[in-house]
Structure 1
Amino acid sequence: MRTRDPEAKRQQLLGAALAEFAEFGMAGARVDRLARRAGISPGLVYAFHKGKAELFDAVFDHIVELTVSSVPIDADRLPEYAGRLHDGGVEHPEVMRFLTWYHLERGESAQRAVVAEAMREKVEAVAEAQRRGAVTGAMPAAQVLALVLGLAAMWHRPGEDLAALVPAERRRAVVVEAVARLVAP
């Protein structure tokens, strides 16, 4: 006898939606196609989310939650933190592609509560490391964090012709070294 597992179905849906949105963006994604990817009916998609836009946001929130839990910030070791974030982008290029679509389609106006909370906690961690002298105090904690996150993602941005100038096996080291120099007290 089969048992219903709504959480498993929800996870299947999020995985399929990530793949669909990473490939086509929100505008090009089709609910029937992503339902097929998930192995569920299109009607079940709407049982979980009101529509494609809500599902798009849910995938974004899920990525943020997974990243925060799987790559927690260690403000005393920001170079290694940036390296782990870089590794995540290498291991999950579909996530990086989805995030590109998300920012293109949602723009700066997309203020998600899950991101605001994650960023607040990270800024607090960097500020505490600055107070202890483990991280430079030459700029505000929020600016340090923005630069660290930007460096960690720099090789994953589409259209970056400079990536061809640095071998893939060297890119992580470049990120770690750049962050180390940036945050040195």
Structure 2
Amino acid sequence: MRTRDPERKRQQLLEGALAEFAEHGIGGARVDRIATRAGVSAGLVYSFYENKEGLFEAVYDSIVEQTVTAIPIDADNLPEYAGGLYDAGLQHPEVMRFVAWYALERGDSGQAERPSVAKSMAAKTAAIEDAQRRGVVTGDRSAAELLALVLTVANMWQRLGEDVRGLVAETERRRVVVDTVRQLVTP
């Protein structure tokens, strides 16, 4: 006898949607392909989400939640935090592609308007401010500026073209990320 497990189905759906959206963006993604990837019926998609756009937003929120959980900020060691983000980008290139599509589809304001992102950014900024007060992180820049720089440096190799990536050997890129962030944040 089969048992219903809606949470497992939802997770399968988010994983299938991540793959589809990472490959095609929201405009090119198709609900029937998402359902096939997830191993569910297309009708089930609509029992969880009102439409494709709602599913797109749910995938984004899921990525934010998973990243915050898997790679919590360590404001006392921002270089290794950046290294962890870099590692995650290598391990999950589909996430980086999805985030690029999200930025294209929703524009600059789309990410900032997500409550999950606002909460995450506020917590990270507060952690850096605390580290600055304790003298662990430089006060030469605001906590928000430092966070923006750390995130940019951590993710730059996944977002740049091969022409730029080719300038630094893949085996050296993590070191560059960690060393650069260390130089940015050391008091």
TM-score scaled to structure 1, two decimals? 0.99
Tell me, in whole angstroms, the C-alpha distance in 2 between the residues paired with 1:44 and 1:96: 27
Q: 1:160 to 1:132 in 2, by over 3 A?
A: farther
* Structure 1 portions without partners, runs of 5+: none
| Structure 2 match to 1:138 | 140
Identity of aligned residues (%): 62
| Structure 1 match to 2:71 | 71
| Structure 1 match to 2:2 | 2
Tell me, in whole angstroms, the C-alpha distance in 1 between the residues paired with 2:163 and 2:123: 33
- Any idea what the Cα deviations from partners look like across 1:36-58, whole Å, max 9, x if unmatched? 11111111000000000010000
SS at match of 2:166: helix
- 2:166 is equivalent to residue 180 of structure 1: no
- 2:40 is equivalent to residue 40 of structure 1: yes
Tell me, in whole angstroms, the C-alpha distance in 2 between the residues paired with 1:159 and 1:45: 34
Question: More displaced, 73-82 or 156-165?
Answer: 156-165
* Aligned CA-pair RMSD: 0.7
Aligned length: 185
Tell me, in whole angstroms, the C-alpha distance in 2 between the residues paired with 1:158 and 1:58: 26
* Structure 2 portions without partners, runs of 5+: none
Tell me, in whole angstroms, the C-alpha distance in 2 between the residues paired with 1:142 and 1:168: 29
Tell me, in whole angstroms, the C-alpha distance in 2 between the residues paired with 1:68 and 1:30: 29
TM-score scaled to structure 2, two decimals? 0.98
- Any idea what the Cα deviations from partners look like across 1:1-51, whole Å, max 9, x if unmatched? 000000000000000000000000000000001101111111100000000
Tell me, in whole angstroms, the C-alpha distance in 1 between the residues paired with 2:186 and 2:37: 46
Q: CA deviation at 1:108?
A: 1.4
